[in-house]
């Protein structure tokens, strides 16, 4: 099969993903073999490729927002029939027995595997998934529309929940990429007001088009005090700005898996029971709840589509703020961009 493979961490500017033939994997145990139709491109893929996440497996095929069709199942995997369209997300599997799993916090599992990081992901024609960790996808979404829901959407949703935002509340977003452009639609559905701070002019326009009350530069103070804020950008210098924008008792949720160092924090910014909280992975329940609400709204995903062979180009564009909404690899496109 064709796949985009990373052999060792390297800056994305060097186009380190190699588009090449690799053996098609064989399902074992609880695994299903999935023929990939579309795979979303996430900032976490950049962190894996550039080595900002501790190296776990090389070579590795990135990609953890996979829409595909079950091609084959191992006989002990009986939950899903061949031919079913499914979604595969970041959480590949958990041990099911550690103290976190037993407490219903599988996102914090001590022995989790992650799609496109510790096991091969969806920048490929096929991948393996654990049948207990794949999602049924609402029919309302095409393959390309559904792909960004599987990480950007789910993590945005978990960030919204952990931010504690209530109906009628005022919520700040810092950064407005794939996750934020989906989370704003859920926040507005919950009748929150959204204020967006981001450095890119096109991202500010998209935020306003989607219903933000205000959009300003990254460190511009929002025009009203915020009940909660979510920092989507991986830049630690934003944390003080977000804290200072909060009302007493407010929470700043940090949605990324990686962030550059935060500058020293003055206790006065944090005092009055403000909180800073990171968002780590997601539970399957988050995924199921989000996909349900996404279909109810229904969420509209803004996507920029690339052929599989051009994953390097998609990731360079993502790094340079040149993607409005979410980048998606459409596996049905040949490398010249034409449908196969
Ligand atoms: Zn566990
Ligand atoms: Zn992701």
Reduced to 3 states (helix: H, G, I; strand: E, B; else coil), residue 172 is strand
Q: Which residues surround ligand 2, an ion (CB under 5 A)?
A: 42, 44, 151
Are the beta carbons of 279 and 255 closer than 8 angstroms? yes
CA distance 182 to 164: 17
CA distance 213 to 86: 35
Instruction: List the beta bridge partners of residue 114.
Output: 91
Pair type for strands 31-41 and 326-330: antiparallel
Judged by its nearest atom, the ligand closest to the C-alpha of residue 109 is 1
Q: Which residues surround ligand 1, an ion (CB under 5 A)?
A: 94-95, 98, 101, 109
pTM of the predicted model, to two decimals?
0.95
The CA 178 to ligand 2 mean position distance, Å, reads 9
pLDDT in tens, 37-56: 999 999 999 999 999 999 89
Confidence of residue 337 (pLDDT cuts 50, 70, 90): low
Region 317-336 average pLDDT: 90
Confidence of residue 100 (pLDDT cuts 50, 70, 90): very high
Reduced to 3 states (helix: H, G, I; strand: E, B; else coil), residue 100 is helix
Share of the chain above pLDDT 70, in %: 97
Structure tokens at 256: 């990324």
Confidence of residue 339 (pLDDT cuts 50, 70, 90): low
């Amino acid at each position: 099969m064709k796949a985009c493979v990373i052999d060792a961490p390297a800056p994305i500017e060097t186009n380190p993903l190699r588009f090449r033939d690799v053996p098609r994997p064989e399902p074992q145990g609880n695994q299903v073999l999935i023929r990939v139709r579309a795979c979303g491109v996430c900032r976490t893929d950049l962190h894996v490729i550039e080595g900002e996440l501790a190296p776990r497996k090389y070579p590795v095929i990135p990609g953890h927002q996979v829409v595909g069709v079950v091609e084959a199942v191992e006989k002990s995997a009986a939950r899903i029939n061949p031919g079913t369209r499914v979604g595969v997300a970041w959480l590949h599997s958990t041990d099911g027995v550690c103290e976190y799993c037993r407490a219903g916090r599988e996102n914090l599992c001590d022995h989790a595997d992650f799609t496109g990081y510790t096991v091969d992901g969806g920048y490929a024609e096929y991948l393996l998934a654990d049948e207990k960790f794949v999602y049924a996808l609402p029919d309302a979404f095409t393959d390309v529309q559904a792909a960004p829901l599987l990480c950007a959407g789910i993590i945005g949703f978990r960030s919204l929940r952990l931010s504690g935002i209530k109906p009628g509340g005022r919520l700040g977003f810092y950064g407005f990429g794939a996750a934020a452009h989906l989370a704003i639609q859920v926040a507005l559905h919950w009748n929150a007001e959204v204020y967006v701070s981001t450095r890119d002019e096109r991202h500010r326009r998209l935020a306003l088009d989607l219903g933000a009350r205000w959009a300003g530069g990254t460190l511009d103070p929002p025009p009203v005090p915020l009940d909660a804020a979510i920092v989507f950008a991986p830049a630690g210098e934003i944390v003080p700005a977000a804290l200072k924008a909060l009302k007493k008792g407010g929470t700043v949720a940090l949605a990324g898996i990686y962030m550059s160092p935060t500058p020293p924090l003055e206790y006065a910014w944090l005092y009055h029971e403000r909180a800073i909280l990171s968002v780590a992975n997601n539970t399957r329940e988050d995924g199921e709840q989000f996909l349900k609400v996404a279909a109810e709204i229904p969420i509209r995903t803004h996507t920029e589509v690339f052929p599989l062979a051009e994953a390097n180009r998609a990731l360079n564009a993502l790094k340079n703020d040149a993607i409005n909404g979410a980048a998606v690899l459409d596996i049905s496109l040949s490398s010249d961009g034409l449908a196969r």
